[in-house]
Structure 1
Amino acid sequence: MSNDARTSAEDPYLALQSTPEFQELRRRFRGFVFPMTAFFLAWYFLYVLLSIFAPGFMGQRVGGTITVGLLFGLGQFVTTFAITLLYSRWATRQLDPAADALGARLDGVREH
């Protein structure tokens, strides 16, 4: 028996990781998280780069006392909360049922 086969047989966590259901769960998670992370980082670096290279634009007043830079900065917070809300709702629908099923399967294996 190879080390991989023995380890999978001895460790239910490793065995579960190799199942198609777990791989699908992982694929779905990465399918949301990686693009959203890339979007947020691009948005953040746009803010930083504009602050460095376009101070005149970022310093323009909007509505009297508010500047474009302040709006962009506040937009960072709004974006963070929006992404968190989107992820929470998405995970509740897409990830949690599958993760719960895998967890129940693992609990059944550990009880025997």
Structure 2
Amino acid sequence: MTTADLSPERSPERATPDEQAFIDMQASPQFQELRSRLRRFVFPMTAFFLAWYALYVLLAIYASDFMATKVVGNINLGLILGLGQFVTTFVITGLYVRFANRELDPRSSAIREELEGPQQ
């Protein structure tokens, strides 16, 4: 059941952890693994996209003749690479959603259940 399935009068009751419980959970191996998995995805993807964007900008500045190369009709490499920035953004977003659904969400749900207890 998701929170979208719940009406306000049927919200699940969970225990409210104290401050020490949050501190203990942050130091737990499960939480450290969750953070590690997130970082192993986010940092390489960010580095890849920033490098790809920097390459595009540098080509636009220093290789304008190359970027002006016609591909089909009035469509040139600069336009294709610029649109590729949007495509790359959507692809990375899709990859992250799939990664989060498979890797992060099950682990974070288990951590939440351990911290707050099962829904009643």
Question: Is TM (by shorter chain) over 0.5?
Answer: yes
Identity %: 59
| Alignment counterpart, residue 24 of structure 1, candidates 16, 33, 47 | 33
After the TM superposition, which segments of 4 or more aligned residues of structure 1 sit over 2 Å from their partners?
none
Structure 1 match to 2:62: 53
Q: Output the aligned Cα RMSD.
A: 1.5
Q: 1:75 aligns with which of 57, 70, 84?
A: 84
**Number of paired residues?**
101
What is the alpha-carbon distance in structure 2 between the residues aligned to residue 26 and residue 17 of structure 1?
10
Deviations for 1:43-66, whole angstroms, at most 9, x for unmatched residues?
000000000000000111110110
Structure 2, unaligned runs of 5 or more: 1-17
Correspondence for 1:37 among 46, 49, 52: 46
Flag the structure with higher helix content.
1
Runs of 5+ in structure 1 lacking a partner?
A: 1-8
Of residues 82, 86, 104, the one that matches 1:95 is 104
- Does 2:75 correspond to 1:63? no
Give the number of the structure with larger relative contact order, counting CA–CA contacts within 8 Å between residues 6 or more apart. 2
Normalising by structure 2, what TM-score?
A: 0.80
TM norm structure 1: 0.86
